């Protein structure tokens, strides 16, 4: 196992975005590295072949069993996923969890170490900047999702008296290239989901599909949907319904889910349908796959997991403009519309619902973006470059310098 690639993260059956991400990443990393075993060190609820369930954030110094396993495996590279709360116990303050994570990186730094933080706020507070600076100093390579995040370091770090790290590599969020549905498949998916038995559910659907967190701001669309639905019918002669689908799971940080009052009112009038589904397998893809387009309103820029599913399906979408990560991928892909006010959202929904050719054009833009930029096949190759850079840096005893290459 000395030539293995070890991923450290949550892993199924854990119901989290990081677990789903790691399961997908592992499959495509293995495809790109047939000569190396791709193993996972997961939280204690992880399962599967080549999975070592060792991370228990409720234990002091949870990382010690992880380091012992790494010593045993002596891997080619260690690829660590990080997100807010991933390595924290319910009682841990965020500062304590961050210190524990940095202690882990320090204890594991004699291995080639790649760290991939999933959330980097566009405007960092001082403690967030300090955490990121120390992470970059300890890891051999740090992977960011978007260029603007690296540019933010150029602005933030010098003001704090720090040099901008040279070991940051930009690798976009990977997207499955095998989850597109043809138009002919949609009726069968509706049948599988039981949507064919819902009275008054229209052939055309606008999707609000998300996990049950209040930051999704469904109310922005649901509050105007009755008027919108009538205007779409007047312009096109078509009936449209709103499909509000929520993945089952506990909202993070003890928050309640989105307010469903308006959705239920619309449902009672035959204008919408509320649907709950298990956040596992292909359920997210199937729920989005039956929709003509997706609306992703949010107050939280950390929505890359949701957007990857939309891109995988080549579904036109509408999302929040002020949020840097969502706006960046919308502009890069050319496959969505942005809004920064309720009126802009209203106009965007009308444009997409009333213009089938626009929906087709945006879908084709997403197809090209998927195949050429964000497909897991492309991303896994870039991971390979990060692994090689980390391995070489460790052999040479120097910091990886990716400032010119990436």
The full set of domain ranges for the chain reads: 5-174+375-396, 183-374
DSSP 8-state symbol, 52: E
Q: Is the pLDDT of residue 406 over 60?
A: no
Specify the range with the lowest mean pLDDT, choosing from 126-135, 222-231, 234-243.
Answer: 126-135
pTM listed for this prediction: 0.88
**Better-scored residue on pLDDT, 280 or 295:** 295
- The string over 275-286, giving b where at least 16 C-beta atoms fall within 10 Å of a residue's C-beta and e elsewhere, is eebebeeebbbb
Gap between the Cα atoms of 19 and 93, Å rounded: 22
Please state the rounded mean pLDDT for residues 359-363: 97
| DSSP percent split of the chain into helix, strand, coil, nearest 5 | 45, 15, 35
Distances (CA, A) of 94 to 91, 142, 395, 406: 9, 21, 34, 31
**What DSSP assignment string belongs to 318-342?**
EEESSSHHHHHHHHHH--EEEESSH
pLDDT of residue 254: 42
CA distances from 263 to 109, 194, 198, 242, 260 (A): 50, 19, 15, 9, 5
Tell me which of 253 and 372 has the higher pLDDT. Answer: 372
Q: Residue 282: which H helix or E strand, with range?
A: none
Asked whether the predicted pLDDT for residue 252 surpasses 50, the reply is no
Least confident segment among 272-276, 323-327, 336-340, 360-364: 323-327
- Percent of the chain predicted with pLDDT > 90: 62
> In angstroms, rounded to a whole number, what is the distance separating the alpha carbons of residues 248 and 283?
11
The average pLDDT across 219-225 equals: 92
pLDDT of residue 329: 85
What is the tally of helices (H) and strands (E) in the chain?
15, 13
State residue 121 phi and psi, 5-degree precision: -65, 145
Q: What is the dihedral of CA 92, 95, 96, 102, to 10 degrees?
A: 130
On whether the CB atoms of residues 100 and 135 are closer than 8 A, the answer is: no
Residue (of 8, 18, 26) closest to 111 by Cα position: 8
pLDDT of residue 16: 81
**CA-wise closest residue to 312 among 374, 381, 360, 362:** 374
Question: How does residue 111 score in pLDDT terms, banded at 50, 70 and 90?
Answer: very high
Encode pLDDT of 6-48 as tens digits: 999 999 988 788 888 999 999 999 999 999 999 999 999 999 9
In this prediction, residue 213 has a pLDDT band, given cuts at 50, 70 and 90, of: low
**Three-state DSSP state, 264:** helix
Q: Could you give the 3-state DSSP secondary structure of residue 141?
A: strand
Task: Give 343's pLDDT tier (boundaries 50, 70, 90).
Answer: very high
Tell me the per-residue pLDDT of 165-177, one tens digit each, with 9 for 90 and over. Answer: 999 999 999 999 9
Residue 301: what pLDDT? 52
Per residue in 234-248, pLDDT tens?
Answer: 999 999 999 999 876
Going by pLDDT thresholds of 50, 70 and 90, the confidence category of residue 122 is: low
What is the per-residue pLDDT for 255?
Answer: 46
Same fold, 5-174+375-396 and 183-374: yes
Distance (Å, whole) CA 216 – CA 304: 13
Best CATH choice for the domain 5-174+375-396 from the list 3.40.50.300, 3.40.50.720, 3.40.50.2000, 1.10.1060.10: 3.40.50.2000
Using an 8 Å Cβ cutoff, are 352 and 344 in contact?
A: no
Q: To the nearest whole number, what is the mean pLDDT of the chain?
A: 88
pLDDT tens figures, 58-103: 998 999 999 999 999 999 999 999 988 888 887 766 668 889 999 9
Q: Kindly state the tokens that stand for 392.
A: 């070489």
Query: What pLDDT was estimated at residue 1?
Result: 59
pLDDT reported for residue 251: 46
Predicted confidence (pLDDT) at residue 272 exceeds the cutoff of 60: yes
User: Which CATH code for domain 183-374?
Assistant: 3.40.50.2000
**Alpha helices (H) in 33-174, listed in sequence order:** 64-73, 94-107, 126-138, 147-159
The values of phi and psi at residue 404, to 5°, are: -95, -35
Q: Quick one: pLDDT at residue 404?
A: 63
């Amino acid at each position: 196992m000395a030539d293995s690639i070890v991923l450290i993260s949550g892993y199924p059956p854990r119901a989290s975005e990081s677990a789903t991400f790691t399961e997908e990443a592992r499959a495509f990393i293995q495809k790109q590295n047939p000569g190396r075993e791709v193993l996972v060190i997961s939280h204690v609820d992880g399962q599967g072949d080549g999975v070592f369930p060792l991370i228990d954030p409720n234990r002091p110094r949870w990382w010690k069993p992880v380091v012992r396993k790494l010593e045993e495996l002596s891997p080619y590279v260690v690829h660590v996923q990080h997100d807010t709360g991933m390595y924290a116990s319910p009682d841990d303050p965020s500062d304590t969890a961050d210190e524990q994570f940095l202690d882990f990186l320090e204890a594991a730094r004699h291995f080639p170490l790649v760290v991939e933080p999933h959330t980097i706020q566009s405007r960092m507070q001082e403690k967030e900047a300090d955490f990121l600076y120390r992470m970059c100093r300890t890891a051999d390579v740090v992977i960011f999702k978007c260029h603007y995040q690296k540019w933010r370091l150029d602005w933030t770090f010098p003001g704090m008296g720090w040099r901008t790290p040279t070991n940051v590599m930009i690798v976009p969020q990977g997207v499955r290239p095998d989850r597109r549905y043809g138009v002919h498949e949609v009726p069968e998916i509706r049948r599988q989901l039981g949507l064919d038995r819902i009275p008054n559910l229209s052939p055309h659907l606008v999707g609000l599909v998300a996990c049950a967190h209040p930051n999704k701001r469904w109310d922005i669309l649901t509050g105007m949907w009755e008027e919108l639905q009538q205007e779409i019918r007047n312009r096109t002669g078509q009936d449209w319904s709103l499909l509000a689908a929520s993945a089952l799971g506990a909202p993070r940080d003890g928050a309640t889910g989105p307010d469903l009052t308006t959705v239920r009112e619309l449902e009672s009038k035959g204008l919408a349908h509320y649907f709950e589904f298990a956040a596992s397998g292909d359920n997210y893809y199937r729920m989005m796959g039956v929709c003509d387009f997706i609306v992703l309103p949010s107050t939280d820029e950390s929505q890359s997991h949701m957007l990857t599913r939309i891109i995988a399906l080549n579904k036109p979408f509408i999302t929040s403009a002020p949020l840097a990560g969502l706006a960046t991928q919308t502009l890069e892909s050319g496959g969505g519309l942005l809004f920064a006010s309720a009126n802009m959202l209203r106009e965007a929904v009308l444009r997409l619902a009333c213009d089938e050719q626009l929906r087709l054009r945006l879908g084709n833009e997403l197809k090209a973006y998927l195949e050429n930029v964000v497909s897991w096949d492309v991303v896994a190759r870039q991971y390979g470059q990060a692994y090689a850079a980390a391995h070489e840096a460790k052999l040479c005893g120097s910091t990886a310098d990716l400032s010119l290459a990436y």
